[in-house]
Structures are given as C-alpha cells and as structure tokens.
Structure 1
Amino acid sequence: MPLPRLGVVIVTMGTRPQELAALLASVEKQDAAATRVVLVGNATPLTDVDTGANVTKIPLTENLGCPGGRNVGLEALCASGEVDVVVELDDDGLLIADDVFRTVQRLFAADPALGVIGFRVADENGHTMRRWVPRLRSDDPLRGGQVTAFLGGGHAFSVRMLREIGLWPAEFFFTHEETDLAWRALDAGWKILYEPDLVLQHPATSPARHAVYYRNTARNRVWLARRRLPVPLIPVYLGVWIALTMARTRSLSGLRAWWGGFLNGVATPCGPRRPMRWRTVWRMTRLGRPPIL
C-alpha cells in the first residue's frame, strides 16, 4: 500500500518568532517531506515570517482562536486534494527526530480505521507532564496504544475521518476542542492512537497562563456535555467536574471566572446536539476512560 500524502498545519499569533522558526526548520528536515505546509496567522499578517517555498501563508485579520485558526488550515489542505493525512503542531513545539512524518505515514497506511495519532509531548529535558498523558491513572508516558483523547499540541488526522465527522468546534475558541473532536471520532468508529515514540518538544507551561482559561474551561465543558453526551450522563459529567474543580482550584478569582463560564455554558447556544451512542460510551469505558471524566 502506498504511503499517504502528508500536510502540515501550524497556527501562530506571531508572538513566538524564534520558536516558530525552529519548528519550521524541524518540519523541513523530516526525511519524508510534507506535500504542503500551511501557516495560519491568527490576527497577524505573517509578513516578518521567513518560510520556505513549500509553506503557504494564510494571514487572518482577527483571532479565531486555536480551533478556528486550525480549521482555516485544514480547509485549505482538504480542499486541495493533495493530502491524505494532516499533522498539526503548536508554534512553540519542536520535532526533535527527523523520522516523525515517515512514522506517521506508516501507521496510517497500516490501519485504515486509524483516525487520530496523538504525539507524546515532552519538555526540553525529556519529561512528560502527567496532564500530557492521555490516560487516567497512568504515570507511564511511554505506554502507547488506543486511547480516548489526544493532545492538541502535536497530532495527526486522517483526512477521510475529517470529511466524515467534521473539523474543530471553532466556537470553543480555546480548551476542550480536542475532546469534542475525539468523541465524534470514536462515535463514528475511528481509532485514536497514542504513540509515545512520536515526540513533540514543548515548554512545560500551564494552560492557566491564558486569561480565558477558567471561564472557557467551564463554559466548554457544559457545551461539550450538552452537545455530545446521552441525557443521563450530562449531570454525572458536570457534577464530577464541579467537585474536581472545587477541590483543585486555589484561586478565588479563578473560581469566580469558572462559575461565570459554567453559567454562560448553561444559558447560551452550544451548537447542534448529536449525542454519542451508548456503545461508544461502553467502548470508551473499556479503553479506560468513560465519558464522565
């Protein structure tokens, strides 16, 4: 079977020029060349970004958020008919090996049901933070296999899968967009593979550094439940996360923002409701993470 054609999407706000240059260089050095690389500028003209001839720049006049910006790149690649697999990378990430794309191609070629490959994210010392491991109760970031989630910083999508289930939920703007897409993929019968040998080097940062983190986290969890869960699981899922948030959050301002987002998620439209089937709930449970956590 021929190896699938591979494209790359990177979204940037133009605030990390050195990291972006290093990332583009690591993409260029891959031993399996990408057919096309798309660089999306979220509210940035990209005029100061020096790229190779194989990079298509798409500057946007407004910030569409992470999922909205990625959708622009995905739409460009899917419409081109030139790629079968898309790799998406954070602009402050780095591919430290030169065979990442080749490995991605081989994995997709070997399994037609594979929809998503999640990379292992590690800091400059090779350490993978616990929250970067897409499993519950797992302290071993080197254990790969089928999972129910993936990290947005480094992953690969089947274009066939995207055409079936749709793109990122742009209205989420930031946080939990990966979960919405993962649940749709699983419900459509696609596999999600965590492959720890595919490494994206990334700074060990906290998502709470973003001002919208607490509010969007709560709002998007409510939207996610309303959009994707069977009715009996909605109060269970939200109740679990209310309890966990109250136990974990030490910032009073953060809690106020979280509850503001929660109420906003209840009161505002969340998009079309397409709940997962009960057999998907059972499949996720067998994979180690039922959709209540």
Structure 2
Amino acid sequence: MEQTRSENATHSPTVSAVIINYNTAELTKRCVDSLEESAYPITEILVVDNASDEADQDKLTASLSHTDLHFLSENRGFAGGCNYGVRKATGDYIFFLNSDAVIISDTVTKLVEDLKLSSVGAVVPQVRLEHDHDLIDKGIGALDELGFGWHPHHLRPVGAEEVPDETCETLWGSGCAMLVDCAVFDELGGFDEDFFMYVEDLEFCLRLQEDGWTVLYEPDSVVFHGFSQSVKQKVDYGKNSFQIYHQNINRAKMLTKHFPLTLLAKGLPILILSFLYWNLILAWRDGIVQATRAFSCELQYAVRGLREREAGRNMEWTTEIQSKSFAEYVGIGLDKEDFYKTVKDDNE
C-alpha cells in the first residue's frame, strides 16, 4: 500500500543536517561551511564524532565551536552515528551528508521540493566527483540478484545520454547525501545498526519501499564528493579487508531479510560461490583466521536477516533486481581487485 504524508507535515519543513566525523576534522569543517551557505535554511547542523583521535577532536572543537558537536565514546559506525544524530535532531527533514562532501546554494532547496510530495520517503541528489565536476560519482542505484548494489552511471559524463536529466524514482540512493523525512525514518527504525558501514543506505531504501514509500533521484540537486576521503585515512585499501568484510556480512543479512526466498533458492549455488570468493581473498591477504571470522559472521547475519523478515511487505521493488551471467560476475570480482590496487597506488 502506498504511503502518503499529511499536508501539515509538508507546509514549511525544517531541515537538520547530520554529518559523521571520523578523523576528518578539516573536511568536516569545509562540509559545514558549505551547508551554512545553503539557500534553503538549515535549522541545525549536528556533527557526530565517532570516537576520533584526540587531536582530531581538538581540531573539530576549535574550528566548529558554533556547531552542535556530539562526541561518542566509541565508534558506532556510519549507521549508529547517523541514528544518534537523528535522535538529537529537531528538524522535520534530515539531510545526511558525508564529511568529504560539499553542497552548492540550491542543493537542499530542490531536495525539499521533492520530499514534499506525498508518497516520497527519501530523495538523493546527483553526486559528482569533486576533482572533476563533469563526472558522476553517485546517483541512480541498481541491485543484482547476489545483493551487490552499484551506481550504473559512476564515472559517466554529466550530460551523457544514458544519465537521467529529470527527477525519477530509483531503487536506492547513497547515504553520502540523502534527505529523509524524520518521522518516516523514526517509524522504520532508522538505519540498521548491524550494518557498521556499507549497505545500510541500500537496506534502508528497501524498507522504505516495502512500507509503501518511494525514493527519488533529483539530478538538478548537485553535491560534490571527495573519493572515499571520509574513510580512507583509517582503511588500507591495498588489503581492504575492512571493506570486504563489512560489505559481505551486511550483504548476507540484506539478502535474507529482503530478497524473495524463491530467488535466493534459485541462485543459491552462485550466491555461495560469491561469498566463498571473497572469503578466499581474505584468507589470501589476512590469513585463515580472518576468513573464518568473516564466514562465521556471514552465517550469523544471514540468520538475523531471516528472523527479521516481515510478512505483508510491498515487494514491487524486486522487479528491479538485475540478473548477470557467471562470466559477468567473474569480471566484477576481477574489476574490484583492480580497483583496490588502483586506490592503494593513489594513496601511496
């Protein structure tokens, strides 16, 4: 059943911005500065620090003394940090923005206009690369039958024919920059905090649609994003066990929590191969102990997903799941390997 929002809730919505800081004080300062230049008034800017180093916290305090700062005693991950920020926020709408991203004057205005539509639960902008404003980083979100989410227009030119130039629905959008209705976010329980990092935005968008809400992509709203600056200072992309580990355990839960059981059963052999492949990569890079830990957590998360499945959900979104051949999945795995090596070289 399609959800609708009352007119009173959309008359003149206030917006709270939530930014997660983890050893990125200088980037966070720049992000906050851009929000303060927004044509649409930002009621409050909440910066949630995920237990950064003391030196970084000192920088944050010195440079953003006028901002609503919250220092957590432990790193709760992206999902946990965002949920904390929402609990402290007072706005009708919440604007999640990565610390390594900046907006332009009318970014938020266009997102708010879209979110006022009665059936819309979240809106995402067109995210472009900061080092090349003519290339897209994130936008429309796609999903395949193995639970891998991606942005099909990543690194495509802004004016490319295949890139939508009008507002449209999308299966999911990146939490790098996302405007959500606070009441809807709370009603759905926020981001799943089992997802320490990665996949939490995709999973939340699936819950939105299963509850009758739509997710919109707004190409006229633009955000500029630095490539993984918000995490790379603490993640060795050369080995990248952090990303592989979290993406795969989260993928395991997302699959069993949301995908039709018939689809999971049909694709079980290649699903098993996909998890085996990445666990072998972990074993090769970090040893059998790390790979065994990942395998154990994948099983635990898969069981959690099954336990959290809800009956009576709107499953229309499943028609957007894309199928690929075995050869294509092999290519994806090899491409990811090349990607990790490239990022390592860039960071050295």
TM-score using structure 1 length: 0.82
Equivalent residue in structure 2 for 1:30, among 38, 42, 49: 38
1:246 deviates by 7.3
CA contact (8 A) 1:214 1:258 kept: no
Post-superposition Cα deviations, 1:85-115, rounded to whole Å, max 9, x if no partner, equal 10001111111x2011221221122x12110
Looking at structure 1, the residues matched to 25 and 317 of structure 2 have their Cα atoms a distance apart, in angstroms, of: 42
- CA pair 218-247 structure 1, distance change in 2 beyond 3 A: closer
Match of 1:10 in 2: 19
1:29 deviates by 0.3
- CA pair 92-220 structure 1, distance change in 2 beyond 3 A: same
Map residues 100-115 of structure 1 onto 2, 5 A cutoff. 100-109=107-116, 111-115=117-121
- CA pair 12-202 structure 1, distance change in 2 beyond 3 A: same
SS at 2:308's partner residue?
A: coil
Match of 2:200 in 1: 177
Looking at structure 2, the residues matched to 200 and 250 of structure 1 have their Cα atoms a distance apart, in angstroms, of: 37
Letter in 1 for 2:244: Y
Moved more, 160-169 or 83-92: 160-169
Aligned length: 281
1:163 deviates by 2.5
1:34 deviates by 0.8
Match of 2:82 in 1: 70
Match of 2:28 in 1: 20
Equivalent residue in structure 2 for 1:212, among 242, 253, 258: 242
Post-superposition Cα deviations, 1:112-164, rounded to whole Å, max 9, x if no partner, equal 211011122211212114x7541369443444410111101111111121132
Whether 1:59 and 2:68 are equivalent positions in the alignment is no
In terms of Rg, which structure is larger?
2
Looking at structure 2, the residues matched to 238 and 40 of structure 1 have their Cα atoms a distance apart, in angstroms, of: 40
Whether 1:196 and 2:202 are equivalent positions in the alignment is no
- CA pair 244-171 structure 1, distance change in 2 beyond 3 A: closer
How high is the sequence identity, in percent, across the aligned residues? 18
Moved more, 208-217 or 163-172: 208-217
CA contact (8 A) 1:116 1:191 kept: yes
Quote the RMSD (CA, aligned, Å). Answer: 3.2
Match of 1:289 in 2: 321
Whether 1:270 and 2:277 are equivalent positions in the alignment is no
Looking at structure 2, the residues matched to 221 and 258 of structure 1 have their Cα atoms a distance apart, in angstroms, of: 16
Looking at structure 2, the residues matched to 32 and 169 of structure 1 have their Cα atoms a distance apart, in angstroms, of: 29
TM-score using structure 2 length: 0.70
Task: Structure 2: give runs of 5+ residues left out of the alignment.
Answer: 1-9, 144-150, 154-161, 330-348
- CA pair 48-248 structure 1, distance change in 2 beyond 3 A: closer
SS at 1:199's partner residue?
A: strand
Letter in 2 for 1:57: L
Post-superposition Cα deviations, 1:52-90, rounded to whole Å, max 9, x if no partner, equal 63x21110111011111111101111xxxx311100011
Letter in 1 for 2:309: R
- CA pair 37-174 structure 1, distance change in 2 beyond 3 A: same
Letter in 2 for 1:56: D
1:212 deviates by 1.3
CA contact (8 A) 1:39 1:58 kept: yes
1:231 deviates by 2.7
Task: Structure 1: give runs of 5+ residues left out of the alignment.
Answer: none
Moved more, 161-170 or 252-261: 252-261
Looking at structure 2, the residues matched to 86 and 117 of structure 1 have their Cα atoms a distance apart, in angstroms, of: 11
